[in-house]
Amino acid sequence: MNKLKMMIMALGLGLGASAALGQTVSTLWGPNINIDDCLTMDGQGNLYGSHYNGSAVYKITPSGERTVYMGGFTTPNGLALDGSGNLFVADNRGNQVYRVTPDSQKIAFGPRITSPSGLIFDPHSDTLYVTTYTTNTILKLSPDGVYTPFLSGAPLNGPVGLAWDDQHNLYIANFNAGEILRVVAPDSLVEIARIPGTSFGANGFLAYLDGNLYTTGIGVHRIYRIGLDGNTTVFAGTGEAGLTDGPADSARFNRPNGIYADAVNHRLLISDYGTRTIREISGIATGIHGDARPLPQGYRLQQNFPNPFNPETVIRYHLSQNARVSLRVFDLSGREVAVLADGEQGAGEHAVRFDGSAVASGVYFYRLESGASAETRKMVLLR
């Protein structure tokens, strides 16, 4: 088995220990910034957040500038971005899903439905999955705005959170009673875990990162990690309401609700419903290790941009001297999917374009090698 494949197979194993192994909670923005619900991020690093107890979706740039991205909603809830930069918003009590275009047009998308809540795109298509909170259904919304039933009834119980794993399995988090459900067939669900809750609720939203699910325990002020085998641990939070930063096991949250898994920076972003604050959990290990030496001093492999991307992205790297290098792209199984560079190159800046049109959406790794030295980075193709 080659070294890169062994490294990729280790993805997710690094999260099996307690939250005290280096994860840190920090307050990025807030309190009282009017974001208390779902979070999502575009390829340029702009964060979008819903104000459920308000009427707007906000945008925060990487530099921290916060603006109203779109207003006029009743209770903006779930969010999802497509590959063209359109932001989809579930207006829960407004009973409508909207599409907000990059040029700020707000368009009703599909017919009115009762209490739309969670949104997620199928990574292998342009189908949007929509949860309905009060009627306990999951619907599929096609690009032409047509709904088709997908799942309904028990064990759905206030479904809100949605997440895909790397094997294209869909997971659903019930807000009311805390079940984490895996879709095992078009009409079949299996419970893999259950999060404790209170009369306020149990699961807020759901995210997937590096082989694990993460959910916000909105009723108990904690963040939970769930392995795909159902093994559940407290990942952050003491269980007491508060706004305290620091090591994950001593930090305090106040009704953590929205959650976004930033695969590029190996962190989780959390919206605190109680304080309207954006929190960050950093220091999440990916399990990607190898026995190759780091690249020589003066060599740099940069993060691709944009990331996530669809279908093209640019990878830049710097060589301090003439060298023989290879730059290759691999999928999660370690299979090589592209050779972007292989040969002698001169000193200086280099940029290559990767076109993902011929491969499926998902997580990929690009690896720059020079002699016995190498560096690997992750990128996400999201259609």
For residue 328, the domain's CATH number is: 2.60.40.1930
Maximum average pLDDT range among 119-123, 186-190, 269-273: 269-273
| Same domain as 304, residue 278 | no
Res. 19: pLDDT tops 50: no
| Same domain as 232, residue 376 | no
Confidence of residue 27 (pLDDT cuts 50, 70, 90): very high
| Same domain as 310, residue 264 | no
> Using an 8 Å Cβ cutoff, are 40 and 80 in contact?
yes
| Distance in angstroms (rounded) separating the CA atoms of residues 72 and 76 | 9
| Same domain as 312, residue 256 | no
What average pLDDT does the structure give for the chain? 88
| Same domain as 179, residue 234 | yes
- pLDDT tens for 74-98 read 999 999 998 788 999 999 999 999 9
| Same domain as 241, residue 310 | no
| Same domain as 104, residue 67 | yes
- pLDDT tens for 295-320 read 556 678 888 888 889 999 999 888 87
Residue 292 lies in a domain: no
What's the rounded mean pLDDT across residues 342-360?
A: 87
| Same domain as 156, residue 7 | yes
What's the rounded mean pLDDT across residues 216-231?
A: 96
| Same domain as 325, residue 184 | no
| Same domain as 190, residue 65 | yes
Q: Of 282, 314, 341, which residue constitutes the final position of a domain?
A: 282
| Same domain as 226, residue 174 | yes
- pLDDT tens for 43-72 read 788 999 999 999 999 999 989 999 999 999
25-58 burial string, b = 16+ CB within 10 Å, else e?
bebebbeebbbbbbbbbbbebebbbbbbebbbbb
| Distance in angstroms (rounded) separating the CA atoms of residues 82 and 88 | 8
Number of separate domains in the chain? 2
Residue 40 lies in a domain: yes
pLDDT at 375: 85
Lowest pLDDT segment from 30-39, 212-221, 292-301: 292-301
Q: How many residues does the chain have?
A: 383
Confidence of residue 14 (pLDDT cuts 50, 70, 90): very low
| Domain assignment of residue 206, given as a range | 3-282
| Same domain as 304, residue 224 | no
**pTM beyond 0.85:** no
